Amino acid sequence: MDRAAAEPVTLTVWYIDGSPFARIIRATLIEFGIEHRAVELASYPPAGIADLTPAWQVPVIEDNGRRLFGSSLIRDYLHQTYGTDAGGISARLTRAEHHWQDAQVLTAVETLTASLVHNFHARWAGVRQAGENRLGGVDIAEREMARAVSLLDWLEDQAGGDGFWPGALAPTDMALAAAILWTEAREEIPWRGRPRLERIVARLDARDSFRKTAPQPWPGSPKGGAQA
Ligand SMILES: N[C@@H](CCC(=O)N[C@@H](CS)C(=O)NCC(=O)O)C(=O)O
């Protein structure tokens, strides 16, 4: 848990601009005051990613020679290694007394984020049905968005007026805001009208860690002018 401020920077995070999964990690590093080097990989697909991770996805971190990929694993590592309640965000990923509930909500937000990424990427890549649909005629992009909306409704029921954890900034709040603010920067989705989620997203949007990691404009999105 302890980290001497005088230690040299050993932690590197690789990301692409906009990536909501990478933003959770970048914002967590800032919230915990962890010295790090943030390396942006250009374009989509992320340039040089195959040399960093077999999954070919950001975020990737390296800390003291340990390379990790997968945002939930990285977040777990950061909370366990550097978590501190001194800043705004909770040091713990889940509350001991509500562990399974909190873990479930984190998983729901991760699924929501993946659904949104898959929907946007499929449409931005211009994917169209080319052959017989042997998956019950389902339009995969539409199903991803329907799944996202179902999860948003469920998350609104789970959230309190003060975020997912009363009196504390939960890691879940950050993850939700990273996903929603990515859509706000790229292409709006029907997430508004859920007052508890709206409050969570507004609160995170105002934080320094989110201001410093905001997506840059990307010409390929309907919002115009960065990438996935
Ligand atoms: N399950 C992974 C998902 C990460 C992910 O989807 N990253 C996207 C950017 S948001 C990516 O790097 N995509 C590269 C690609 O599609 O090849 C995680 O949690 O880290």
7-31 tens-digit pLDDT: 667 899 999 999 999 999 999 999 9
> Where does 59-187 have alpha helices with state H?
71-82, 99-124, 140-158, 171-186
**Partner residues linked to 210 by β-bridges:** none
Asked if 122 and 140 touch (Cβ cutoff 8 Å), the reply is yes
Pocket lining: 70 vs ligand 1, CB cutoff 6 Å: yes
For position 223, what pLDDT does the model report? 76
Both tokens of 95, joined, read: 């509350």
Q: Which amino acid is at 196?
A: R
Asked if 35 and 186 touch (Cβ cutoff 8 Å), the reply is no
Distance 58 CA to ligand 1 centre (A): 5
- Nearest atom in ligand 1 to 114's CA: 6
- Quickly name the fold that domain 96-207 has: Glutathione S-transferase Yfyf (Class Pi); Chain A, domain 2 (1.20.1050)
Q: Which amino acid is at 122?
A: A
Quote the CA–CA distance of 13 and 169 in Å, as a whole number: 23
Residue ranges of domains in the chain: 96-207
For position 138, what pLDDT does the model report? 94
Q: In which band, very low, low, confident or very high, does the pLDDT at 224 lie, cut at 50, 70 and 90?
A: low
For position 1, what pLDDT does the model report? 46
- Nearest atom in ligand 1 to 45's CA: 17
| Distance of alpha carbon 159 from the chain centroid | 18
Quote the CA–CA distance of 226 and 206 in Å, as a whole number: 21
164-203 tens-digit pLDDT: 999 999 999 999 999 999 999 999 999 999 999 999 999 9
For position 226, what pLDDT does the model report? 47
Task: Say yes or no to pLDDT of 6 above 70.
Answer: no
Task: Say yes or no to pLDDT of 88 above 90.
Answer: no
Task: Say yes or no to pLDDT of 227 above 90.
Answer: no
Task: Say yes or no to pLDDT of 3 above 70.
Answer: no
For position 87, what pLDDT does the model report? 78
Distance 124 CA to ligand 1 centre (A): 15
